[in-house]
Amino acid sequence: MVINPHYPRKTRIFLRIEKSLAESNKPGDVALFGRMMASLPTVNVDAAVQMAHAISVNALQQEFDFFTAVDDLGASDDQGADHIGETGYNSSTYYRFTTVDTVQLEKNLGTKEQLAEITQAFAEAFVKAIPTGHQNAFAAHSLPAAVMVVVRNGQPVSLVDAFESPIAPKNGKSLLENAVIKLDTHWADLTKMYGEKSVVFKGIVTRAQLAKQLENLANCEKPSVEDLLKDAIAAAFPGAN
């Protein structure tokens, strides 16, 4: 790219930015989630990550937190202020799904040097990340009760259809236990229908109470999330340090 010194200063700066963005390696977050700049379409980056909205596996029952706020320390000549309102919330059990296209990620990064490390960091963050909104009011710090990772060639496959019918506590089993049973059964149904030819690795880790509900996935159970992600990364990037 030739930068014409006779261009206006604003245009020259614009061209330098475009040249820099186009030629430099992409940072991990941009390589993962992409970048869209309407004014510079030549530096757009296709995301390597697809993220589904979390859905409730049980019938969602919305609750409401009613609150009031009163200005108790207003001056005598000030009418002060007060407010009433409500915040909606629920305590549902959620299924979350994400996929990483490692081929696209490598293309975005421009190198294999940190490919495995960035993928693992994303996987760890996806498992452990907790939204910060309204935490002072709800203290929602629950970690996932079950985590499954599949490394496959070709098209990703979500297991969301396992929860087409709402899960509920029944037959002496908790909601979580029945959710794990549905996930396990749905995986078996899918592999029976489509096979596992594309699957390079599969692994699951659950709380001890829930592990007893695994049947079809029992042979790929891992002892911890750390072991699960370590084995998945090794399968996805053979020979990576």
In a domain? residue 8: yes
Residue 18, domain member (yes or no):
yes
Measured CA to CA, the distance from residue 113 to residue 110 in angstroms comes to: 9
What pTM was computed for the model?
0.82
Residue 74 pLDDT? 64
Total residue length of the chain: 241
DSSP state of 212: T
Tens of each residue's pLDDT in the chain, 241 residues: 444 555 454 444 444 444 444 555 677 888 899 887 766 666 778 899 999 999 999 998 889 988 888 877 666 666 666 788 888 888 899 999 999 999 999 998 888 888 999 999 999 999 998 888 888 888 989 999 999 999 999 999 999 999 999 999 999 999 999 999 999 999 999 999 999 999 999 999 999 999 999 999 999 999 999 999 999 999 999 977 5
On whether residue 5 sits in a domain, the answer given is yes
Q: What pLDDT sits at residue 10?
A: 46
> Whole domain around residue 21: which residue ranges?
1-25+35-45
The SS3 of residue 234 is helix
Q: How many separate domains does the chain show?
A: 1
Report the run of H or E that residue 116 belongs to, with start and end: helix 115-128
For residue 9, is it within any domain?
Answer: yes
Residue 94 lies in a domain: no
6 domain residue, yes or no: yes
pLDDT at 20: 45
**Is 10 domain-assigned?**
yes
Query: For residues 12 and 3, is the Cβ–Cβ distance under 8 A?
Result: yes
Query: Nearest 10 degrees: CA dihedral of 157, 162, 166, 168?
Result: -130
Residue 236 lies in a domain: no
**What is the residue whose two structure tokens read 């693992």?**
120
